[in-house]
Structure 1
Amino acid sequence: MPAEPAVDERPAAPVPDTYRQTLARLRAAQKPAGRGAPAYPIYVNRRLGRFIAAAAFRAGLTPNQVTAISAAMTFTAILLLALVPPTFLLGVAVTALLAAGYAFDSADGQVARLRGGGSAAGEWLDHVVDAIKSSTLHGAVLITAYRFLVPADQRGWLLVPLGFMAVSAVSFSVFLLNDLLKAARSRRDTTSVIRTGSTPLRSLAGAPTDYGVLVYVFLLLGLPGPFLVVYSLLFLAHLGYLVLALPKWFRDMRSLETPA
């Protein structure tokens, strides 16, 4: 799910007296979850991001600085994954860095709201980082699998991270395109209804397709067999979700068309 847009240049609002008051402001301004949004971003990552955002805001950090911290953590993990032989400790380090980067990714948009709103430049930067992350992470899996995990007579498995890379790129692009078209339509036609909000059942059903779940698969790096199996199952879940969702999203776009 694309992260919340950031802002950089707007002046910060007056800082509340306490950290707790800052958290209260964030809770009050929290956006509703997208329809069918997975459970991890709603119930875990958004809350972690809220604590980070409150601290970052009070420390005077801008949203783009928070985005840069997120990117540094994420791409450090990706480089470690690609370059270092897989072990249990490496898996823990990669997972911790990816999870922390994801939490900071949620925090930048929340800092933006504390500072008065988002900007096009901040949103662009946030989405560019997400686009790079969504592809290079699977590229790193491809590299480490080729170098360390997959025997020469089983190299056909390398098609899995290649496929995962393609599915991630397409999914990310379509998510953004859906949001842009719906937003453009809602500005032209005030009678348009954009359905928002999620339910626990929808959130749990979408859990296998969430980046927050993928992050924790890397705890299995020290166990090549289980890692390859679980990673493959997640790829199938992402692929199946995309194949089933594309017709539905097409119908959604058709419903936005103005009747002749």
Structure 2
Amino acid sequence: MASVSQRVAAHIKGQDISFRQTVFQLSSAQKTAAAGAPPYSIYVNRKAGKYVAAAAHRIGWSPNAISCVSAVLTFSGITLLAAAPSSWWVGITVWSMLALGYVFDSADGQVARLRGISSPAGEWLDHVLDCAKLPSLHLAVLIAAYRNFHLSNDVWLLVPILYSAIASVAFFSMILNDHLKTIHSGPPRSAGKKKRSVIKSIALLPTDYGALCFLFVFLGSESIFISLYSLFFLANAGHLLLASFKWFNDMKNLETVVTETTLGD
């Protein structure tokens, strides 16, 4: 059976393959999901992104072009959230734009892996766009709340401000973790593939960007939206606090491995 790269090469030469075959190739080129990864991103967004990636690949879109489409959809939704009066139709439209942008955000990496053309420039673009959208979304909530909500106490406006900071720190920490582990990689401490934890995956649902996007469906009901958004904020704050202790210990263990390796040399 031909490899993924061979099939892609055949497609480029004009020996076209079916849409179903492209989807199958993408299924075999997926990244391994981390144990306890939030369910929406894995079971909904990644699968939807697979079909978008297959269509984009067949019409010749590059991963960077897909990233740009994702950015247009995402920031259009963020702009609408900040600029339009809060209502049910605005909330559903914002959710649709953000969710579709998230699907395209998954598709760009899948096309890159399918074609074997992953590049530092493409990874940089993807991370920068993610870094921009996360705090921008919460700042848009801040603007919408200030303009449209009938708050009994303006102290609540601190929630989207703090949520923006938490989202930025969490994203940067995860990127930095991967970067430092790549630079100072040591021998694996355990062998074998980690088993996915369904309970952990469900518990981490509030940290899932896709689940956050769905909250805007309730923008038409101020009380429901504020309650759910506040709960998500508390869950993300708690997760970042606990995860920071773990990540710091991971870095200390990595430091020990690097020191032992240096002394051994």
User: TM (normalized to structure 1)?
Assistant: 0.90
Query: What is the identity, as a one-letter code, of the residue corresponding to 1:242?
Result: L
After superposing on structure 2, the runs of 4+ consecutive aligned residues of structure 1 that deviate more than 3 Å are 192-198
What are the Cα deviations for residues 215-235 of structure 1, in whole angstroms up to 9, with x where unaligned?
010011110111111101100
Structure 2 stretches of 5 or more lacking a match?
1-7
Q: SS of the counterpart of 2:127?
A: helix
Report what 1:220 is aligned to: 218
1:88 aligns to 2:88 (yes or no) = yes
Q: Structure 2: how far apart are the matches of 1:208 and 1:13?
A: 41
- Please show how residues 202-213 of structure 1 align to structure 2 within 5 Å: 202-213=200-211
Q: 1:35·1:197 contact (CA, 8 Å) conserved in 2?
A: yes
What amino acid sits opposite 1:204 in the alignment?
Answer: I
Native 8 Å contact 1:139 1:165 kept in 2: yes
The separation in 1 between residues aligned to 2:20 and 2:144, in whole angstroms, is 43
Mapped partners of 2:197, 2:27: distance in 1: 18
Query: What residue is the counterpart of 2:165 in the other structure?
Result: 166
> When you count helix as a share of all residues, which structure comes out higher?
2
> Against the structure 1 CA distance between its residues 173 and 197, is the aligned structure 2 distance closer, same or farther, given a 3 Å change threshold?
farther
**Whole-angstrom distance in 2 between the partners of 1:248 and 1:133:** 26
Larger CA deviation: 34-43 vs 129-138: 34-43
Q: Which residue of 2 aligns with 1:44?
A: 44
Which amino acid letter does the alignment assign opposite residue 141 of structure 2?
V
Tell which structure's C-alpha radius of gyration is larger.
2
Name the structure, 1 or 2, with higher relative contact order (CA <8 Å, separation 6+). 1
Structure 2 equivalent of residue 148 of structure 1? 148
Change (3 A) 1:133 1:119: same
Q: Supply the AA of the counterpart residue of 2:72.
A: A
How far did residue 197 of structure 1 move?
6.3
Matched, 1:238 2:233: no
Residue 26 of structure 2 corresponds to 26
Q: Distance in 2 between matches of 1:142 and 1:121?
A: 32
Q: Which residue of 1 aligns with 2:60?
A: 60
Equivalent position amino acid for 1:80 in 2 = L
Residues in 1 aligned to 2:189 and 2:75: alpha-carbon distance in whole angstroms: 38
Question: Is 2:188 aligned against 1:192?
Answer: yes
User: Which structure 1 segments of 5+ residues have no match?
Assistant: 1-11
Q: Which amino acid aligns with 1:39?
A: P
Alignment of 1:97-108 (within 5 A): 97-108=97-108
Q: What CA RMSD, in Å, does the superposition of the two structures yield over aligned residues?
A: 1.5
Residue 111 of structure 1 aligns to which amino acid in structure 2? V
1:138–1:164 contact (8 Å) kept in structure 2: yes
Name the residue aligned to 2:114. 114
- Separation in 1 of the partners of 2:83 and 2:92? 15
Percent identity (aligned): 48
1:194-243 C-alpha deviation (Å, 9 max, x unpaired): 87663322211211111111001001111011111110110000000001
Q: Measure the CA separation in 1 of the matches of 2:122 and 2:79.
A: 25
* Residue aligned with 1:227, SS: helix
AA at the equivalent of 2:41: P
Measure the CA separation in 1 of the matches of 2:143 and 2:162.
14
- How far apart are 1:30 and its partner, in Å? 1.0
Aligned partner of 1:249 in structure 2 is 247
Partner in structure 1 of residue 3 of structure 2: none
Name which of structure 1's ranges 245-254 and 75-84 shifts more when overlaid on structure 2: 245-254
SS state of the match for residue 21, structure 1?
Answer: helix
In the aligned structure 1, how far is the partner of 2:161 from the partner of 2:139? 7
Render the CA deviation track for 1:68-117: whole Å, top value 9, x for unaligned.
Answer: 00000000000000000011100110000000000100000001012113
Any conservation in 2 of the 1:33–1:196 contact (CA below 8 Å)? Answer: no
Tell me, yes or no, if the aligned pair for 1:185 and 1:256 is still in contact at 8 Å. yes
